[in-house]
Every structure is written in structure tokens, then in C-alpha cells.
Amino acid sequence: MPLRSDWSEKSCPMARCLDVLGDPWAMLVMRDVLSGDRRFDELRSRLDVADSVLSKRLAALCEAGLLEKVPYTGTVRPRYEYHPTAAGRDTAPILQALARWGDKHNTPPALEWTALEVYCRRCGTEATESADWCVSCRAPLRPESTAWIRPSQWDDVRPLAI
Amino acid sequence: MPLRSDWSEKSCPMARCLDVLGDPWAMLVMRDVLSGDRRFDELRSRLDVADSVLSKRLAALCEAGLLEKVPYTGTVRPRYEYHPTAAGRDTAPILQALARWGDKHNTPPALEWTALEVYCRRCGTEATESADWCVSCRAPLRPESTAWIRPSQWDDVRPLAI
């Protein structure tokens, strides 16, 4: 993790959020867990990240209460899945806000077809006005009512994993 | 800046956003510029950050097109203010999403009175349902129509600086 001050006691809630989520890998781990990846190998493969980096981020996200380790069987050694907690699921609006900015302001021409679409599963419309609120059916865009259609997954539209 | 891959060409727009804003200091610089701080000394004082860290972040945010340097007069040496561009102003919804998470999930008991309130200046109501959409008057919470009431500024409620 980058060396910086402890911001967990800051009066500004943005700083307190960044104390947990101010690392870009942490944000992408939450993206992939909410997209359905749960196991170390799945996350490592999707993120293309070094084992040590991923281990540290997963441990930090568990300690901060965004993920919880759940053992799974069927392997020789005990292994764990990483499941999002309520606090972890509430990162979805942040991630969706990042995506709106990235699509609007940092899209190289070769990637213009890749805009992330956030669908409201309650009313079946694409959310285009807000990262966290469906303007059509007037309800929050929570993971359980949202689907992300990601550039690499046009043929695999699925609800966010909760 | 932390050593990591270049994410500017990633197909995922969250990663492309984090390529610019994945550093926690960069987020806080945008917070303070949108709050009205424009000059190096003002930012350094508010952020309590080393000169070299702040210089690097400001240069990176200018290069990425979120800030622009504007010279100001009245000093012996030429000096600059940092003004937000349209892409910089569009970080407000991200910052407001971070604040919602921080207030909900990472608030020590001693800080429970410090929740950031985001006011819609169009209709005069506090935005409580969304980080980027006023549910009351059904309009986007853009910097020009928003005021942040920050914990340290109860006596200084001002619109976001654009």
C-alpha cells in the first residue's frame, strides 16, 4: 500500500472512504467481487495482478469490513471465497460513478464502443442520468437491482453478485 | 505515484478513471479545488501534505486535463492558480459518492456529527437519496447547483467553486 497518513479519523467522509478505498487495486477487487468473482485464482486471473498485491488488498478489505472470508470445500487444503458485506455492496455506486467519468472523459478512440451500461433490473431501462439512482422507476441502483453490461461480456449479462 | 500498470487503455471505464483518480491525494486535491482552494499554498495548508507530493499530483491532474494552470499577478515571481476544467468538475459526483460511503460505513463514534451534507441549490433541499441526482427537483447534482456543508465550515456555506 502507498505510504500515507491514517485517514480513518478525518472529519471529512471522503478522506475516511479513501482510507479504505483509496487504493486503485482495492476498487478493482470490489468491482470483480461484485461482478461474481469470489476466489483468489479467479480474481488474480481477471486482474492480472501479482499474488502479493492481491493478498494484501484482500486482507485489507476483510479487515475494513467490505469482504468476508467464507471457507469452501472440495479441495485438499482449506480455501476461502471472498464475499461482499453490506459495506462492500455499497461500493457499487462509487464504482458506477467512476465508470461514468471514465466513459465520458478518458476513453481513447479505439475504445469508444466499450462504454459500460448500467441497467436497472426493476424497470429494465439503462441508467443514463445517475450512477446510483434510476430516474425512470425512481429507486436506488443497488447491486441487487442492477446489472452491469461490461465490454467483455456482451454475451453474459448477469445481475451483480450479492 | 504508486508503481502500477498504465490503465489508460483498459476496456473497463472504472480502470480508466482510476488511471487518473486512483491516487487518494488526487481525489482530495479535486475536493479542495472544488471547494474553492486554488493556490498551491492554500492546498498545501488544507491537505497538510508535502510540497513534492502536492506538486506531482497537481502536475498529473493538469496533464490529465482535470485542472488548468492560470497565472495570477500581484507577486514578484509568476504564480499560478489551479482551476477545474469540465472533466475536473465532473469529479464532484464521484467525491459525493465517496462521502456517502464514508459517512455510512467508516465513521468513528466521535465523528458522528460530521456527516457531509450535499445541498441542491436549485430546490434548497438536502440530497439524501443519491450522490449525483436531486430526487426532489429531479435534476443532476452538478457543482454549479450544489453546496457542500463540510464539518469544519458550518458557518461558511458556499456553493461549489466552478
The structure's pTM equals: 0.92
pLDDT reported for residue B45: 93
Does any domain span residue A1? no
pLDDT surpasses 70 at B25: yes
B73: confidence class by pLDDT, cuts 50, 70, 90: confident
Average pLDDT over residues B124-151: 90
Residues A76-98: tens digit of each pLDDT: 777 899 999 999 999 999 999 99
3-state per-residue secondary structure call for chain A: CCCCCCCCCCCCHHHHHHHHHCCHHHHHHHHHHHCCCCEHHHHHHHHCCCHHHHHHHHHHHHHCCCEEEEEECCCCCCEEEEEECHHHHCCHHHHHHHHHHHHHHCCCHHHHHHCCEEEECCCCEECCCCCCEECCCCEECCHHHEEEECHHHCCCCEECCC
Does any domain span residue A52? yes
Dist. CA A131–CA B12, nearest whole Å: 16
B72 and B119 housed in the same domain:
no
Does the beta carbon of B115 lie under 8 angstroms from any beta carbon of chain A?
yes
Does the beta carbon of A35 lie under 8 angstroms from any beta carbon of chain B?
no
pLDDT surpasses 90 at A4: no
Of the residues A85, A104, A119, which one is the last residue of a structural domain? Answer: A85
A37 and A55 housed in the same domain:
yes
Does the beta carbon of A72 lie under 8 angstroms from any beta carbon of chain B?
no
Does any domain span residue B97? yes
CA atoms within 13 A on the CB side of A45: 6
B110: confidence class by pLDDT, cuts 50, 70, 90: confident
Average pLDDT over residues B137-151: 87
Q: Are A97 and B100 in contact (CB under 8 A)?
A: no
Residue ranges making up the domain that contains B71: 13-86
Cell of A118: 448500467
Does any domain span residue B4? no
A69 and A98 housed in the same domain:
no
pLDDT surpasses 80 at A24: yes
Dist. CA B89–CA B33, nearest whole Å: 9
pLDDT surpasses 70 at A156: no
pLDDT surpasses 90 at B162: no
Does any domain span residue A3? no
B47 and B67 housed in the same domain:
yes
Does any domain span residue B6? no
Quick check: helix, strand or coil at residue B24? helix
Q: Are B126 and B116 in contact (CB under 8 A)?
A: no
pLDDT reported for residue B3: 47
pLDDT surpasses 90 at B8: no
Q: Are B75 and B62 in contact (CB under 8 A)?
A: no
Does any domain span residue A136? yes
pLDDT surpasses 60 at B2: no
Dist. CA A9–CA A99, nearest whole Å: 28
pLDDT reported for residue B153: 58
pLDDT reported for residue A54: 97
pLDDT reported for residue B21: 96
The residue ranking higher by pLDDT, B138 or A10, is B138
Most confident of B2-16, B98-112, B145-159: B98-112
Does any domain span residue A5? no
Q: Are A97 and B93 in contact (CB under 8 A)?
A: yes
Average pLDDT over residues A121-144: 92
Of the residues A39, A65, A85, which one is the last residue of a structural domain? Answer: A85
Average pLDDT over residues B20-38: 95
Is residue A88 exposed (0-12), middle (13-18) or buried (19+ Cβ within 10 Å)?
buried
Residue B101 to residue A21, Cβ atoms within 8 A: yes
Residues 6+ apart with CB under 8 A from B41: none
Least confident range from A21-35, A73-87, A89-103, A147-161: namely A147-161
Domain count, chain A: 2
CA of B79 to nearest chain A CA: how many angstroms apart? 28
Quick check: helix, strand or coil at residue B63? helix
How much is the ipTM here? 0.91
B96 and B74 housed in the same domain:
no
Q: Are A116 and A99 in contact (CB under 8 A)?
A: yes
Of the residues B45, B71, B86, which one is the last residue of a structural domain? Answer: B86
Average pLDDT over residues B97-123: 89
Residue A13 to residue B94, Cβ atoms within 8 A: no
Q: Which residues 76-105 in chain A show a CB within 8 A of chain B? A: 87, 90-91, 93-95, 97-105
Does the beta carbon of A108 lie under 8 angstroms from any beta carbon of chain B?
yes
pLDDT reported for residue A76: 76
Which chain B residues are Cβ-neighbours of A110 within 8 angstroms? 9
Task: Read off the CATH number of the domain in which A26 is found.
Answer: 1.10.10.10
Does the beta carbon of B108 lie under 8 angstroms from any beta carbon of chain A?
yes
